[in-house]
Structure 1
Amino acid sequence: MNYTDINAKIVDGWVKNGWEWGKPISHEVFEKARNGEWGVYLTPTKTVPHEWFGEMHGKKILGLASGGGQQIPVFTALGADCTVLDYSTEQLKREEEVGKREGYTPKCVRADMTKPLPFEDGTFDLIFNPVSNCYVEELEPIWKECARVLKPGGVLLVGFDNGFNYLFDEDETVIKYTLPYNPLKDEALYREAMDLDFGVQFSHTLDEEIGGQLRAGFILTDLYEDTNGGGFLHEHGVPCFVATRCVKK
């Protein structure tokens, strides 16, 4: 079993146990979105500016590693033509639950985003990728695939961890690890991650994140930072996440 299969199974368990990012939106939130009142997250606490999206009606959107019944149902309520790709079966089940409740059939694709995306060139107007690439070792192939499946002028929205979280112990008060954090290259670190039900996670640099998007042919148009939403680092105002908006050349 490779590390992405391990992560998919671990996320399935988190979702079954009530993971925050696997709780579908309510009917009330769906109805508010239909009436133009909505907000979605790329990072823990800040909603994405509406101007990052533009007109949503009829827009072809790919939710990349975006299962859980939170963002894609909102986009659907706004009139977008949505596809959600995720490697967690339980996350895709949450999409189906919302669709059944609200009377639509979501287009769900179970696939590993480290592999070539199962879509034709220039399929989508927008890709929405909330924090998830911390479960992936190599980012460059993902950015290239995003560029391939987006139309010219298409928008890529990404949320990611800046690496700070991977320095600290569980209480976030003691620097315990070194960067880059990569359990695949440290057997003791791997065993610890499995014992803690942490999954196989990876720290990434801004060069890998933003630089990688630029090298794949994107133009950065905006970004913002965010905190963990709780814990010692959050209480001290330390930004641990970044959201970026890029446009395909």
Structure 2
Amino acid sequence: MDYVKKNKATIDQWIADGWQWGKPITHEQYATTNSDNYALFVTPTKSVPHKWLGDLAGKKVLGLAAGGGQQGPILAKLGAEVTIMDFSDYQVASERLVADREGYDVTVVQSDMSQEFPFPTDSFDVVVFPVANVYVADVQVVWQEIAWVLKPDGILISGLDNGLNYAFDNEQSQLVNKLPFNPLQNSDQMQMLAEDGAGVQFSHTIEEQIGGQIKAGFILQDVFGDTNGSGNLHNHNVPSFWATRAMLKHTGDSL
């Protein structure tokens, strides 16, 4: 099945229904953003430490799967030359809307991150990648493409689902799925997603997420965990996400 096409339609529907990650920042939030006062999220509740981004003035930054007018406007206000790549019609429209409203330049590219990226090698100094790997079956393709478009010593800041959400039922009270969660290989899991209107999603292991970055030539520099922000796992302070800062040292397998 064309699961990417299904996910695109699903996310557009979520945004139409008021999805949290499809709501652009307000003019007031943009106006008060500066190098000392901003919160940029790649996971649900904890903002990225300011030292992870450093001084962005004049830096070329790719917001990967980061449409929607949330990360992009902050990066632009911090002085970056921003490119946003997303596959959702609504998310790219929101990105342009905020840029027009606030009067800054942004390059918006509508493209599928599971395919070859539409940029030359060494195009960016920083890639900011909120949680989106759950919509891609083979995450190694994503890490390799990021490595291709980043400059040497470029920085990747990524938000990653660690898989726990897919093991539990909707109430997060019972373990109901054996990991990995892959609906393309498990019809029950596909039915579960269909009933929830959740598109097609995948769990990924630490070997795929952290190990995949290392195989693509990245050196892990820092990490933090985060929760869902609500629900039973959150109430028990169980981290469902990781955020990583990594530096690109070389391309190709490291082992």
Structure 2 counterpart SS, 1:233? helix
How many positions carry a matched residue from both structures? 249
- Residue aligning to 1:166: 166
In 2, the alpha carbon distance for the partners of 1:81 and 1:220 equals 25
- Residue aligning to 2:29: 29
Deviations 1:178-209 (A, max 9, x none): 10001111123212312210110000001100
| Aligned residues of 1:36 and 1:78 also touching (Cα < 8 A) | no
Q: CA deviation at 1:108?
A: 0.7
Q: Does 1:198 align with 2:173?
A: no
Give structure 1 stretches of 5+ with no counterpart: none
1:78-157 equivalent positions in 2, closer than 5 A: 78-157=78-157
For normalisation by structure 2, the TM-score amounts to 0.95
In 2, the alpha carbon distance for the partners of 1:104 and 1:5 equals 31
Q: What amino acid is aligned across from residue 180 of structure 2 in structure 1?
A: P
Q: CA deviation at 1:29?
A: 0.9
In 2, the alpha carbon distance for the partners of 1:180 and 1:35 equals 40
| Aligned residues of 2:81 and 2:106 also touching (Cα < 8 A) | no
| Aligned residues of 1:88 and 1:110 also touching (Cα < 8 A) | yes
- Residue aligning to 1:71: 71
Q: CA deviation at 1:2?
A: 0.7
Deviations 1:136-195 (A, max 9, x none): 100111111111100000000110110111010100001111100011111232123122
Structure 2 counterpart SS, 1:224? strand
Give structure 2 stretches of 5+ with no counterpart: 250-255
- Residue aligning to 1:17: 17
1:104/1:163 CA distance change after superposition, 3 Å: same
Q: CA deviation at 1:34?
A: 4.1
Q: CA deviation at 1:128?
A: 0.3
- Residue aligning to 2:46: 46
In 2, the alpha carbon distance for the partners of 1:180 and 1:34 equals 41
| Aligned residues of 2:40 and 2:48 also touching (Cα < 8 A) | yes
Deviations 1:198-237 (A, max 9, x none): 1100000011000000010000000000011010000001
For normalisation by structure 1, the TM-score amounts to 0.98
- Residue aligning to 1:247: 247
| Aligned residues of 2:167 and 2:176 also touching (Cα < 8 A) | yes
- Residue aligning to 1:7: 7
Structure 2 counterpart SS, 1:155? strand
In 1, the alpha carbon distance for the partners of 2:69 and 2:53 equals 19
In 2, the alpha carbon distance for the partners of 1:144 and 1:29 equals 34
